[in-house]
Every structure is written in structure tokens, then in C-alpha cells.
Amino acid sequence: MTVGPEPAVDASTSGLISRSHLGIEPFALVRPASLADAAAGVADGAWAHAGGIDVAQRLRHGESTESVVPLGGLEALTEISLRDGALFIGAAVTHARIESNALVRSRRPDLAAAWRTIGNVRIRTAGTVGGNLMALDAGYDAAPILAAAGAELIFLEPDGSEQRCSVADRVEGRLLVGCEVPLEGRVVYDRSLKPVASVAVGDRYAAIGCAYSDVKVIELEVGTNGVADLEAVRAGLDALGEPLDDANASSRYRSRVIAVLMERCVQAHAEDGSASLGYEDRVPSSADAPWRASAAPAGLPGQVASQRVDGGSAGDADSVNLQLHLNGEPFATTAPVSEMLVETIRTRAGLGATRVGCDQAVCGACTVLVDGLPTASCSTFAWQAAGCEVHTIEAANNSPGPEAAGRLPAVMREVQRTFADTSAFQCGYCTPGLILTASSLLAHHQEPDRGTIADWLDSNVCRCTGYLMVIEAVEAAGAALRSRGDLHREPST
């Protein structure tokens, strides 16, 4: 059979899932000098860029925008503080900070527990509360958790005034500054059956995600014993109408799942609402995640990189001059603002071991380390890494200097060696991402238990090994590094 060439496709307008920036409509990068600038840009139709994963996916799936406004450089949006008797969480705060922040853990430990279940380690280190909420996607996790907690969202109008609303209100075309969460109360969140449904139950409200086009909220009738009346809950669910009937699940199945999850969460809330279902506390109780404690602000890769774009000057740009450290060496190039970091690494730097897999920030094949943390390079714009330290698997082959002990490349070399010694790979396609994720874990946790290792490696899909050999390789690498004194923690505050 003769197979002819495939027909040409206009990648800029096809709306296909892309394998590079070529499948994304061009857009301008607008760097705000202030909150007012950002609010004006969003009101004029620009997309707010907080963590950026959602922005990348929307563009990759065929949506378009004339301009994108990065929010990471606006310090007011990175704040976690007490305000007027409530816990304020800024829009540019990452999921990882919420799960590890000392103030959140002391005043609302239930939120820290719920956030620890979100996505995977790459999603949590890059994704933000604001990006999650402003996407208006009922499948995302922040909305049901905050709705059940009775949180209030704060939006900034172009004239500088504030608009406050509930999580269930759909506010479009406005800049989210952050949210205020009551200090009293607790939330139990169960996302174990996503994308069919997710359920959160708080003291006064319950919320359902994934199952409707919007997040649905019902008010709870709480008895004198402090437990929500299940009959009233069932009546509230009936009043919501039929859930979605789509490829993920039938409407009937979703209704059954929601009822089961709701009853389970109500019961768990009555017994102990201080933690989400089925998850242990695996986060160190430092002021913030220890691997970022020395940085200011205490955000994570996407957030910090946004401040460094081309010097952070105001103005529009459809291409950027990038300067970063790649595997310990300076690297400079010019790239379109729509270019993903994986494209820059593979085609401009010529480092082909960074793979492209799902192109959805899920499988982990594209994992690189940005400032020491696992990052989905397929869903991170190249300009987000400006000024950052970026490591790919090729760094493990660099010749070690006398100062290498305890440094990330030294950890990578040991992890790579134990993967080879224990045959912790088969086809090898996912192996670079696994090694990088494991190296970051060992660089930040001196002696992780198996649960912590599995939690981190859950973000890297491997179809060959079954993971046991991978976990054993990470344990062996940790033991070898500890025996040589090559593991250390960054100082925490």
C-alpha cells in the first residue's frame, strides 16, 4: 500500500492540540506596572496569566486572545495574610504555597489538606488560585473548596474600586485580586472520582464540581448536633436538576456519584473535618515550602519567572529576548511569546531528551526543573523561565566540579545511576522526567517515605515498569546520597 503525504494543515488556525507554539494563535505580552494596569488590561479583553497552565491549554485547544497579562510580578497578588478577621489568599498564590504555608496550616488546616490533593506536583508548583478561578472551569478544584468554605472573591474594577462576590458568581472580564476565607469552619473535599464529580462540604455550604457547566452550591441545614441534615441535602441536590451527560459519565451515574460523595463528606465533616478524605499529612510545617523559603516572594516557578520577563518593563511584545541559565550555563535566545519552554529546549538549545508526551501537563514526559522544581515545559511559556535556573536531564552528564556535592546535578547523577543499576526503566521515554522529578524530591526531602515518593512520582506516567522498581531506585539513591552527605535542605524561615 502506498501512503501519500498528509494534507497541509494551517497550524495557526486549526485549533488542533499542538506539538509546538505553531499551533497557537499569536498574541502580545502586556506587562503591567501596577494592579490598575492589570485590571484595565483584563477589562479590555486581555487574558490574565497567573500560573499559566490554563492559558496554555486554552490557546492550544484553538481559543485566541490578542494579549496576555502576566500577574506574577504584582506583589500584592502573592500575599497570604490576615485581613479583617479573614484569611486573605492572593490570586497569584500557588497551590503549593497554600498546602505548606504556616498561616494557612495554623488557621485553616482543612484548606491545606484539601489543596494537597490537587493535581500533581507540577500543577501545584505552577498553578495558582487566581488562574484556577478566573478560568471559570467547573472541573477545577479551587472553586468548590472555597465555595464550601464560604469564601468571598475580590475583583478589581478598572476605576480602582473593588467588587466582592461569592465563588458561585461568574465574573468575567475583571481582575481577581484574591479571596477572603472565614477563619472559623472546616471543609472536607473529595476529588477521587474526577472528572465525573467532586464534592466539598463545609459548615454552611456544600459545593459540586465537574458535574455541571458551573460549580453548584447548596446551603446546608445544620442541626443542633452540628451535622448537616442529609434529607435536606438530597432535596437540595434534586433542586439542581440533571447533571451533565457526556463522554466522562452519564447524567444518571453522575447523580449517583454526587449523592454518595456528598453523604461521605457530610459524615467525614461531622467526625473530623480537619483533613480531606484518604490523604496523609506529608508536608513539612515550615513557614513555606522549604525549597522556596529563601526566595522572595515565596512563590514558585511560573510566578517568579513572570517578574523577570525582559526586565519586567511595561509595554507590548510579540517576541521576547530570553536570558536564563540552562544546565549551569548562560543561554540567550529570542522567541515568540507563544513559544513553549519545551520547544525552546528541544529546537533552540538542541537538547532532545526533554520529551513531548500528552501536551496537557499530565504525563510528565516534558518535565524539566525550573529553580529546582518539576515543571511541565509543554505548558510553560519560554518567557516564564527568563532569569531562572533550568535543568534538563543532560545536566546529569556534566563533569562535576569540587563544589558539586549537594548540588542538584550531583543528585541527578546519583538518581540516574541507581535507575540504571536497578533497571528502573524499560522503553525509556518517560525516564528523563522521572529522574528529574525524583532528583527534585531528594534535593528537598532528606529522607522521604514511600508515600511521599509515590505522591511525587504520581505526576509522571510510566506504562512499562509498574513503578515498584522506580520507587526502589529513588530509595536507593536517597540512601547513597545520605551516606555521602550529599543531601541538604535549603534554610527555612
The pLDDT of residue 401: 55
Chain Cα centroid distance, residue 385: 16
Residue by residue, DSSP assigns 355-406 as: ---SSSS-S-TTEEEETTEEEEGGGSBGGGGTTSEEE-GGGGGSPP-TT-TT
Residue 467 burial (10 A CB sphere; 0-12, 13-18, 19+)? middle
Q: Residue 399: pLDDT band by 50, 70, 90 thresholds?
A: low
Residue with cell 485581613: 83
d(CA 374, CA 436): 7
**What is the pLDDT of the chain when averaged over all its residues?**
84
The pLDDT of residue 10: 41
Helical H segments across 213-250, by residue range: 230-239
**DSSP structure class, residue 228:** B
Of the CA atoms within 13 Å of residue 446, those in its CB half-sphere come to 12
* Collapsed DSSP state (helix, strand, coil) of residue 70: strand
CATH architecture of 312-396: Roll (3.10)
d(CA 361, CA 359): 6
Mean pLDDT of 368-379: 94
**Residue 277: CB partners within 8 Å, gap ≥ 6?**
188, 189, 190, 192, 264, 265, 268
On the question of pLDDT at 282 being above 70, the answer is no
Least confident stretch, 177-186, 450-459, 470-479: 450-459
Q: Residue 12: pLDDT band by 50, 70, 90 thresholds?
A: very low
Decide if domain 75-272 falls under CATH 3.30.465.10.
yes
On the question of pLDDT at 310 being above 50, the answer is no
d(CA 281, CA 200): 19
User: Grid coordinates in use for 202?
Assistant: 463545609
Q: Convert the pLDDT of each residue in 435-453 to its tens digit.
A: 999 999 999 888 999 999 9
The residue among 305, 360, 319 whose CA lies nearest residue 26 is 319
Mean pLDDT of 368-378: 95
Q: Convert the pLDDT of each residue in 155-165 to its tens digit.
A: 999 999 999 99
Helices 468-484, 450-457: inter-axial angle, 10-degree rounding: 120
Least confident stretch, 26-30, 99-103, 152-156, 298-302: 298-302
* Collapsed DSSP state (helix, strand, coil) of residue 473: helix
On the question of pLDDT at 311 being above 90, the answer is no
List the domain boundaries for the chain. Answer: 21-70, 75-272, 312-396, 402-484
CATH code given to domain 402-484: 1.10.150.120
Residue 267 burial (10 A CB sphere; 0-12, 13-18, 19+)? middle
Q: Residue 316: pLDDT band by 50, 70, 90 thresholds?
A: low
On the question of pLDDT at 273 being above 80, the answer is no
On the question of pLDDT at 18 being above 80, the answer is no
On the question of pLDDT at 298 being above 50, the answer is no
Phi-psi region of 234 (alpha: psi -120 to 50; beta: other; left: phi over 0): alpha
Q: Residue 313: pLDDT band by 50, 70, 90 thresholds?
A: very low
What are residue 97's phi and psi, to 5 degrees?
-70, -35
The pLDDT of residue 437: 96
- Whether residue 92 contacts residue 130, with contact meaning beta carbons closer than 8 Å, is answered with yes
The residue among 77, 116, 74 whose CA lies nearest residue 98 is 116
Q: Convert the pLDDT of each residue in 332-365 to its tens digit.
A: 999 999 999 999 999 999 999 999 888 888 899 9
Chain Cα centroid distance, residue 30: 23
Q: Strand 216-219 to strand 205-209: parallel, antiparallel, or no bridges (unpaired)? A: antiparallel
* Collapsed DSSP state (helix, strand, coil) of residue 458: coil
d(CA 215, CA 167): 8
**Residue 369: CB partners within 8 Å, gap ≥ 6?**
375, 389, 390, 391, 392, 408, 436, 439, 440
Phi-psi region of 423 (alpha: psi -120 to 50; beta: other; left: phi over 0): left
The pLDDT of residue 7: 43
Residue with cell 494592579: 35
The residue among 464, 387, 452 whose CA lies nearest residue 424 is 464
CATH code given to domain 21-70: 3.30.43
- Whether residue 357 contacts residue 364, with contact meaning beta carbons closer than 8 Å, is answered with yes
d(CA 212, CA 139): 9
- Whether residue 460 contacts residue 430, with contact meaning beta carbons closer than 8 Å, is answered with yes
On the question of pLDDT at 2 being above 50, the answer is no
Q: Residue 72: pLDDT band by 50, 70, 90 thresholds?
A: confident
User: Grid coordinates in use for 64?
Assistant: 485566541
